[in-house]
Chains A and B, each alone.
Chain A
Amino acid sequence: MPPRATFTRLGRGATLGRPGDAAQQRRVLDATLALLAQSAPVEPVQLAESME
């Protein structure tokens, strides 16, 4: 496992969010980068983000 990671249900090819959905992409980025504030390793975080 990586030292810090987030997972979503967005699927391959759309890692950060739906095309054109900048708000969703930022939510994924913000949540992922926020993990840097914790010492690693951090348990992987499942985000409630999907293509729906």
Chain B
Amino acid sequence: MDILENRDQWEATFRAGWLAEYQAAGSFNWKIYNRAKNTLAPDGPAVDLSASRLLLISSAGGYLPASQEPFDAENALGDYRIRAFPGSTPLNTIAYAHDHYDHAAVDADPQVLMPLRHLEDLVAEGVIGELAPNVISFMGYQPDLTRVLDELIPAILDAARAEGARAALLVPS
């Protein structure tokens, strides 16, 4: 199955509509943005989580300011790169570069978006077999779905394979 059904049609509509208007006028017209809707969802076998390695994937724009560049949160056309950092990272050392959600909740309690300590508890309880060593993070403002398909998703899949993940939890923001 295709990750995005009717990719060519979506891309043509995006380029002739939302992107063309942005490039011409410098403004966003979300009324003409083509929100993709697939008719099929991916299939797959059941997962015995208690015997599996789980990878946390976050779209909240998390990064480590001490060692990593922030995502390009101000870029109107999005940022399609990923960051990886250890799941053992102290929550108060993670910053969030993402201008498209209110940060009040994550500033007050990072586990509302980055539940690293909860996941460690679930491992200790035997619910999860183990956690992948690293968290995969991206900034989920990405209006160009062709770049999601060609850049973001391959990077996440490569990282997931490198992490030896058998299951993934995506926490959107």
Contacts and interface: CB of A to CB of B under 8 A. Distances in A.
Range for the number of chain A residues in contact with chain B: 20 to 34
Contacts of A41: 40-43
A30 B169 CA distance: 11
B102 A12 contact: yes
Contacts of A30: 122, 127
A29 to B, nearest CB: 6
**Most A C-beta atoms less than 10 A away, residue of B41, B44, B121:** B41
Interface string B89-103: 000000000000111
Contacts of A37: 46-49
Contact of A32 (B46, B128, B169): B169
Contacts of A16: 111-113, 115, 118, 171
B44 A13 contact: no
B46 A39 contact: yes
Interface in A1-35: 1-3, 12-20, 22, 25-26, 29-30, 32-33
A40 interface: yes
**Most B C-beta atoms less than 10 A away, residue of A20, A30, A33, A39:** A33
Top 9 nearest A-B pairs (CB, nearest first) are A41-B41, A19-B109, A19-B108, A14-B105, A13-B101, A36-B47, A1-B41, A40-B44, A13-B102
Given A15-B113, A36-B47, A37-B46, 20 more contacts: A3-B41, A3-B43, A3-B44, A12-B101, A13-B102, A13-B105, A14-B105, A15-B171, A17-B112, A18-B105, A19-B109, A20-B108, A25-B115, A25-B118, A29-B115, A33-B169, A39-B43, A40-B45, A41-B41, A41-B42
